Structure 1
Amino acid sequence: MALTVHIPEYLEDCELTAGEDLAREPAFWLAHLMLTVGDPSEDPDRYGVNASAYEAMVEHLSNPEEPWPVLRVPFEDGHTAYAVYASFDDANNVDFFVRHHEWGRLGYLGQCGADEAGPGLSWTELATLAETAQNSSAGLTDSSQRLLLLLPMLGDAETPPEARHMVAQALTRCGISSEADELATMLVGEQETGSEPTWTVTADSPIAVCSSPYSPRHIPLALGITPRQAQALTDALTGRG
């Protein structure tokens, strides 16, 4: 039986369930990436994923009659990043946010689906979150899984060329057995040096803000937390802790 997840600051009147077991299935990873940044009608056989397993996974992740799957990425100093598959009768979203039990609020990274908002992470932040797994009884600890889960939130003009290779490796390790290089190029190919968005630190907060007006991080993440908490979050996101 799946474990119920409680997030006090999240939407009321929804049932959340731990979804980390889904990470064992290649069909989940292809569905996750196609539902967020790709095309869900893509032929899964092209990527070495069983078509019936893929179709069943897409249906599961989009079913408003079932509890909403939640996948968690615990990172430094007690922070956790979340991806929640929010399925309504008339719309589906994947909500991405970070949380700390002391905040009393969520720090929204963005959404994919019917309501688009983002980006939510710079490349430095994404790479840091992928690699800084914490000892935790709940959440993903594998760096490849952590990278792919949060990859839809990436948007950064300074994404390095080696990002494609890192994503391709993660895809292969998560069971995408064909065309991993091509898929990685599609997923990070728009991150070109000199284009939007960019990330800067202002005098208002140590937490970097995004130049895109469509990003929740156009203002500091988790706005309203204390200066100490903001510095701790910055250190955790950038690996300076």
Structure 2
Amino acid sequence: MSAAVHIPEYVEDCDLVEGEDLVRDPAFWLAHLLLTMGDPGGEPERYGVDASAYEAMVDRLGDPEQPWPVVRVRFAGGHTAYVVYASFEDENNVDFFVRHPAWGRLGHLGQCGADEAGPGLSWAELITLAASAQDGDEGLSDPSQRLLLLLPMLGDADMPVDARDTVAQALACCGIRTDAADELAATLVGEQDPTGGPRWTVTDDSPIAVCSSPYSPRRVPLALGISPEHAQALANALHGSVREERGDTWINRSRSASRDR
């Protein structure tokens, strides 16, 4: 049985459980990405996922009678990114937020579902969180899994040319059929608009970047109201002092490790 998870500042009167066991199944990754970013009615076999396993995973993630699964990404400075599959009788949402135990509040990245909100991460932040060394024993440690878990929050006009390749490699590492991973990555990353897409800027008010999109919770600094010291620590954790390796390097290393398992 999965252990209970307690998030003091989150929704009251809901049961939360660790969801990391679910990520071992490629059906989880396909369900997670299609439910939040694609067509949940697509054919799972084309991606190398058994249809019955996919349907069972969709049912589990959206079952209001069961505790809500929580998947976590621990990163520098004691911060944690949370993804919660919140299922009510009449609607299903996937909530994305960041928390630090010293804050007394949540930093909302966005939501997929009835009340869409986002984006919540720039490409640089997404890559940093995926590649960051895990801080603590809880949550995901594999960089490909960390990238795909937070990918639905991506929105950025300034994307590198190899972004699709990086996502495709992560998909393959997580069990999506290699010859379908490139096509799925293209759908998930999409055509970026360098003139009208979301822009991320740091203002004089906070070291934490804000987003230009009117639908993003990050129109204001993430975790607004935390102390200046905490804001600087979060900004450092989101961007990293200096990434030691390029994004494609750690993805390739993760792929090699997965082959060895």
Q: TM-score, normalised by structure 1?
A: 0.98
Q: How does 1:157-168 map to 2 (within 5 A)?
A: 157-168=157-168
1:151, 1:191 → 2: CA distance?
A: 15
Match in the other structure for 2:11: 11
Residues 181-218 of structure 1 deviation map (CA, whole Å, 9 limit, x = unaligned): 00000111132323311001111101000001100000
Letter in 1 for 2:92: N
Contact 2:107 2:222 in 1 (8 A): yes
The residue aligned with 2:79 is 79
Instruction: Give, in angstroms, the shift of residue 64 of structure 1.
Output: 0.3
The aligned amino acid for 2:154 is: L
| Residue 120 of structure 1: aligned partner | 120
CA deviation digits over 1:55-108, x for unaligned, max 9? 000000000000000000000000000000000000000000000000000000
Rounded Cα–Cα distance in structure 1 between residues aligned with 2:191 and 2:114: 21
* Mapped contact 2:76–2:135 kept (Cα < 8 A): no
Structure 1 residues 214, 135: closer, same or farther in 2, change over 3 A? closer
The aligned counterpart of 1:45 is 45
Deviation digits for residues 26-58 of structure 1, max 9, x if unmatched?
000000001101111010011110000000000
Q: Does 1:174 align with 2:161?
A: no
Q: Is the 8 A contact 2:199 2:212 kept in 1?
A: yes
Letter in 1 for 2:36: T
Larger deviation, residues 7-16 vs 129-138: 129-138
2: CA distance between counterparts of 1:7 and 1:213?
28
Aligned to 1:111: 111
Question: 8 Å contact 1:165–1:181 — kept in the other structure?
Answer: yes
Is the CA contact (8 Å cut-off) linking 1:159 and 1:192 kept in structure 2? no
Contact preservation (8 Å) 2:75, 2:134: yes
Matching residue of 1:154: 154
Query: Which residue matches 1:90?
Result: 90
Match of 2:239 in 1: 238
Q: How far apart, CA to CA, are the structure 2 residues paired with 1:8 and 1:187?
A: 33
Partner of 1:203: 204
**Structure 2 equivalent of residue 68 of structure 1:** 68
The one-letter code sitting in structure 2 at the alignment partner of 1:229 is H
Which residue in the other structure is 2:191 paired with? 190
> What is the match of residue 217 of structure 2?
216
Say how many residue pairs are matched: 241
Q: Does the CA-based 8 Å contact 1:158-1:194 persist in structure 2? A: no
Indicate yes or no: 2:145 matched with 1:141: no
Unaligned runs of 5+ in 2: 243-261
In 2, Cα distance between equivalents of 1:133 and 1:68 = 26
Aligned to 1:129: 129
Q: 2:169 & 2:197 partners in 1: Cα distance?
A: 26
SS at match of 2:85: strand
Distance in 2 (CA, whole Å) between partners of 1:59 and 1:101 is 32
**SS of the residue 1:112 aligns to:** strand
Are the equivalent residues in 1 in contact too, given 2:77–2:135 (CA < 8 A)?
Answer: no
Moved runs in structure 1, 4+ residues, more than 3 A? Answer: none
- Inter-partner Cα distance in structure 1 for 2:55 and 2:141: 26
Residue in structure 1 matched with residue 254 of structure 2 by the alignment: none
Identity of aligned residues (%): 71
Q: What is the SS of the residue equivalent to 1:179?
A: helix
RMSD, matched Cα:
0.9
Provide the residue aligned with 1:21 in structure 2. Answer: 21
